[in-house]
């Protein structure tokens, strides 16, 4: 295990962290800047800064991996996980072009895009709750206020708030960030929950959904994103996700409306790699509309 991890401490207090191929740093971290400025995940000048293991960490592209500052060896594992080193992208090279021409095309155009993870269970759950029902811009605005109000500042970024810090403030103080009273109640209930999230890693996907949906404010959609974006499970297909449905409508059904059962069936041809298929479809939907061949 980890025998291929060559860690080289540089002279400038940085460490080179190797990533499996293929790997495209800019594409992998692109979603942090896609909607707007994220106060917990700062994307500037091609570098990503966020708090990991209690300190601000800056990552930038390097050949075959990333350069990380500060150059602490204990950051290697969390950085690799954050950037999706766990995922096997081999399938994307062998998507049958006849069966899935759309995904085969996207795999080529987005080569090296990896499934970046949300490193902390509480951060993942709160992020999902803020994103429920509202636009991503609205969710980001509320999340930024939440992070600035209750998270610790580390230079240019804020640490995502701890459950303990959130547990200390009351519901209306939480709601002042723009959350509905209902959502403020959910967030606080999760912050004070004594559930051990570490033990979820031993459960299979269905059992994780069952366990998480016991929490107030966590439904199937939020549980599925937890599996995909926190636990890094490979075959998650959130057919209820409006953005995924929109992407499927655009790329796979010639623009005609899809309901959830139809979206679910469209995922079947991507088994057992539906998480990657979903990631690539969502990323493609964010790309600037491809230029059609010039008329004439």
Partner DNA sequence: ACCCAGGCATTGG
Partner DNA sequence: CCAATGCATGGG
Q: Please report, as ranges, the residues that interact with DNA according to CB under 7 A.
A: 31, 34, 36, 128, 131-138, 141-142, 175, 178-183, 213, 215-223, 225, 238, 240-243, 246, 282
Q: Rounded to whole angstroms, what are the CA distances from 66 to 8, 85, 227?
A: 12, 11, 25
Q: What is the 3-state secondary structure (H, E, C) of 168-237?
A: CCCHHHHHCCCCCHHHHHHHHHHHHCCCCHHHHHHCCHHHHHHHHCCCCCCCHHHHHHHHHHCCCCCCCC
- Beta carbon of residue 6, minimum distance to DNA (angstroms, whole number): 34
- Beta carbon of residue 269, minimum distance to DNA (angstroms, whole number): 20
In the complex with DNA, the residue whose CB is nearer, 63 or 256, is 256
In the complex with DNA, the residue whose CB is nearer, 19 or 187, is 187
- Beta carbon of residue 127, minimum distance to DNA (angstroms, whole number): 9
In the complex with DNA, the residue whose CB is nearer, 44 or 137, is 137
Pairing state between β 153-154 and 8-9: unpaired
Tokens of 250: 């655009």
- Residue 265 CA, chain-centre distance (Å), reads 24
Q: Tell which phi-psi region holds residue 283, choosing left (phi > 0), alpha (psi between -120 and 50) or beta.
A: alpha
Phi, psi of 157 (to 5 degrees): -130, 165
- Beta carbon of residue 8, minimum distance to DNA (angstroms, whole number): 34
- Beta carbon of residue 139, minimum distance to DNA (angstroms, whole number): 8
In the complex with DNA, the residue whose CB is nearer, 168 or 220, is 220
In the complex with DNA, the residue whose CB is nearer, 180 or 193, is 180
């Amino acid at each position: 295990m980890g025998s291929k991890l060559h860690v080289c401490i540089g002279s400038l207090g940085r460490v080179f962290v190797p990533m499996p191929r293929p790997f495209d740093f800019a594409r992998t971290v692109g979603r942090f800047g896609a909607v707007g400025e994220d106060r917990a995940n700062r994307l500037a000048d091609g570098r990503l800064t966020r708090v990991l293991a209690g300190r601000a960490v800056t990552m930038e592209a390097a050949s075959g991996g990333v350069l990380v500052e500060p150059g602490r060896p204990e950051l290697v594992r969390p950085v690799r996980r954050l950037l999706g080193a766990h995922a096997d992208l081999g399938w994307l090279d062998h998507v049958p072009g006849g069966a899935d021409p759309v995904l085969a095309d996207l795999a080529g155009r987005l080569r090296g895009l990896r499934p970046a993870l949300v490193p902390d269970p509480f951060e993942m759950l709160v992020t999902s709750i803020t994103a429920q029902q509202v636009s991503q811009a609205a969710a980001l605005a509320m999340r930024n206020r939440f992070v600035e109000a209750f998270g610790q500042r580390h230079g240019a970024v804020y640490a995502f708030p701890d459950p303990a810090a959130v547990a200390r403030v009351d519901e209306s103080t939480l709601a002042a960030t723009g959350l509905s009273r209902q959502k403020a109640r959910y967030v606080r209930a999760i912050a004070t929950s004594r559930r051990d999230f570490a033990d979820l890693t031993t459960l299979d996907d269905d059992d994780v959904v069952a366990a998480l949906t016991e929490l107030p404010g966590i439904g199937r959609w939020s549980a599925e994103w937890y599996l995909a974006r926190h636990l890094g499970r490979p075959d998650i297909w959130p057919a209820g996700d409006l953005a995924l449905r929109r992407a499927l409508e655009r790329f796979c059904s010639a623009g005609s409306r899809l309901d959830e059962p139809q979206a679910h069936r469209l995922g079947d041809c991507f088994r057992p790699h539906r998480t990657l298929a979903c990631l690539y479809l969502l990323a493609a939907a964010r790309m600037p509309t491809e230029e059609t061949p010039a008329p004439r």
